[in-house]
Structure formats: C-alpha cells, structure tokens
Amino acid sequence: MIHAITINDLVTLHGGMPLADVRTPAEFVQGHIPGAFNLPLFSNEERVSVGTAYKQVSREAAILLGFDLTGNKWSGFIKEALEKAPQKKIVVHCWRGGMRSGAMAWALDLYGFDVYLVTGGYKRYRKWVSGQFEAAYDLLILGGMTGSGKTKILHQLRASGEQVIDLEELAQHQGSSYGTMNKLVQPTQEQFENDLATALNRLDKNRKIWVEDESSSIGKRIIPRPLWNQMLTAFLIDIKVPVEQRIDALVKDYGTLDKDFLVECTERIRKRLGPEQTKNAVAAIREDRMTDFIRLALVYYDKTYRNGLTKRKPGQVLSVEVDNTDAAINARNVINLSRSLYETNAIINT
C-alpha cells in the first residue's frame, strides 16, 4: 500500500523507517535528508536524457524513455530496498514527489512493500530546513580566544545534559585557516544546512542551547543568516585562559601537523597577519619551533576575537576565569555562570 505523507510526518516517521532517496547520485551528494540512502532511478546522465526528452519532445516521450532506461533495473531496485528495509516498510522521495518517486513507490508496492511517499519531495524538505533557522532559540554563546578549550568544554556541557549545537563538528572544520587539520572534508553547504536543521529540530526550544562562538563562516560553510543573527544578539560567556596555557594546548593540537600544510595555511592569512609576522611564522614552522609559530599566529587571531567582542552590546558579554585544563571543572563553572545569568534575568522580568 502507498501512503502519502508530509515533511512533518517524515520527521516523525523517519527515525524508525528506512528512507530511500531516488534522485541521481549527483543530486544526493549535493544534499540529502540526513539518514537517507540513495536508490537512484536514473544515473546522472540518464536523468539529463529524460529531462531533455521532456522539454524538447513531450511528457509521454520522457516517460517511455524512462521505462526503456530502467527496464532491466527493477529487480535490482527491489533487492536493494529489501536489504535496507527487510520489514518491507519504507519511505520514498524524489525532488518534487513526482514521477521518479511515484514509479519507485509503484514497483515496491507491487512487490508487497508498505510505502510512504513524501509529498513535495526534497524540494519541500528544503523549505522545512529554512524554517528551522527562522525559529526562535534560547541561545547561549560560548566564547574565548583561540586555544581556550571551548570545544572540549562544549562537549563536556553535552555530557552533563546541556543542549549543544556543535557547529564545527557539523561543518567538519575547526574554524580557522588551519581548520581542516589536513584531514577533515567539509560537507556541501546544502548538506551542512540539512544536518544543522536536523540537529536544531531535535532540541527543546524552551531550554537554553549552547553554541560555540564562530564567525559567519566556518571554513567554506556559511551559518544561515537567521540563525547567525540570533547568535549575534545572544549572551556570550567569554572564557579567560592564560596565554601560555592556550599556546601549550595549540602546540599539542597543531604542532604535529604536516609542515607544508601549516605553511600553506599561514600564507593564506598573510594580508591579515602582515608580511613580517608571516615570514617569521613560516620560518618557525620550518625550523620546528612550534611554540614560536603559535605565538605569532595568535597575534592575528586574538585581535580578530577582540574586534568581534566590540560589536556586541554592553552587558551582553560575561567573563569567567579559567586557569586549569580540566574541561569538566570548566564546564561546571560555565554552567554556574549561566544559571546566575538566567536567575538575574528572571528577577528583572518579574
């Protein structure tokens, strides 16, 4: 049996049911619903041929060509669907919920599957994604200069039961010129947005949500503007960490990376770091003086962070001193500060 469902239905159903995206591999790679698997009705080239027939000849010609192209594939589609959904319950979608998903749903239904067909397809899903960024969230921003251990504290906050959105994890980037760590591969912008929307949707909007302080871009990925605007107006807890402690942490994180990679990334910020600073930083890398390299690079990153703080309203930034490397202790201090902030606001608003 074929059941038509909405995107909102899908968000509820998908957790326990396989989701087949029947668009082409290229479309799937560009962006897909998190957790979906690709069951492409057409290859990338075949879709172009069918689309051309549709535009230049007729809808009927495109349908006939589609059947010609998929004629010997149907048993393969069904076998793959059985591997993913052995209970014969499956969700199917294409771009707009049209012919591709309709054809796949028909074949699977014929074989005995219980098929849930997504109305409006992936196009409607992308509208849902945009809607998640327009929603209001009770954000708390965790800030601090480079090397302050913000990410470790953020992970400890999550382990303590706090709600957390880890933007760097979603973007697969550490947020600086060196942020790929010479190994991370960023998702497409579209996939980053899909994953971020899913993460937001899983949280309770009535509770505070911790987000690490970021610029509007993380590597090559852009934080959606509506969410970014909320981050700019949210309270920021600024972690104050001694510079030598920060340098030690950064040497551990970056000091073992490939020297050519570090040089390339340093050259990328030459205009902002300055020619003399860049020259000295590159020399320090080549000579394996990692502490000197980090100290030089921090001149730029610390200045950038301080400039970012000046753009926030007075009273919007609260500071907490951190003089140890224990993320659990630091997380408790941050939580205590956030609670005092909420209690103060509650008194003011009564």
In the chain, how many H helices and how many E strands? 17, 12
Beta bridge partners of 92: 20, 117
Burial of 15 (0-12, 13-18, 19+ CB in 10 A): exposed
Burial of 287 (0-12, 13-18, 19+ CB in 10 A): exposed
Angle between helices 189-201 and 121-134 (to 10 degrees): 60
Active-site residue identified among 20, 36, 94, 200: 94
Q: Which two tokens stand for residue 174?
A: 């550490």
Q: Please, which residues have CB within 8 angstroms of residue 14's CB and are 6 or more apart in sequence?
A: 33, 35, 91
Q: Which two tokens stand for residue 35?
A: 């957790």
> C-alpha angle with apex 283: 281 to 288, nearest 5 degrees?
95
For the question of residue 265 being annotated catalytic, the response is no
Among 202, 135, 127, residue whose Cα is nearest residue 166: 202
Rounded Cα distance between 235 and 163, Å, is 16
Q: Dihedral of the CA atoms 85, 172, 203, 213 (nearest 10)?
A: 180
Question: Residue 342: which H helix or E strand, with range?
Answer: helix 327-348
Q: Which two tokens stand for residue 298?
A: 């921090």
Rounded Cα distance between 154 and 212, Å, is 7
* Residues comprising the chain, all counted: 350
Strand bridging mode 139-144 / 209-212? parallel
Rounded Cα distance between 231 and 195, Å, is 18
Instruction: Determine contact, residues 120/222, Cβ cutoff 8 Å.
Output: no
**Which residues are marked as active site?**
94
